Amino acid sequence: MVCDIVKKQLVLPEDTSVTAQSTFSALGRILSTPYSSLPIASFVEIVMGLEEAFGITVEEDNAHSITTVQDAADLIEKLVEAKTT
């Protein structure tokens, strides 16, 4: 589900593969932006989409630790667990 949200938020082409190992810097290069990595505005959109989808809040400190889609999934799992306990 996280991969699908990332792909949707970035409006990536349908044939683009987004996996747990995908890095956000590599996804930024797919967008053909002048940046060497994902623009901060795009990253913020991804985080907001994940927050909405999972009913969580990602603090700025936690967001800075996300470099791969798996990092995002792990953080979401941790935040969802914390929310339910």
pTM to 2 decimal places: 0.86
Q: What is the pLDDT of residues 10-57, one digit of tens each?
A: 888 889 999 999 999 888 887 765 555 678 888 899 999 999 999 999
**Mean pLDDT computed over 68-78:** 96
- Give pairs for 13-20: CB < 8 Å, separation 24+: 18/69, 19/69, 20/68, 20/69, 20/70, 20/73
Cβ within 8 Å of residue 53, ≥6 positions away: 1, 5
> Which stretches of the chain are DSSP H helices?
2-10, 24-30, 40-54, 60-63, 69-84
- Given a contact cutoff of 8 angstroms between Cβ atoms, the answer to whether 18 and 7 are in contact is yes
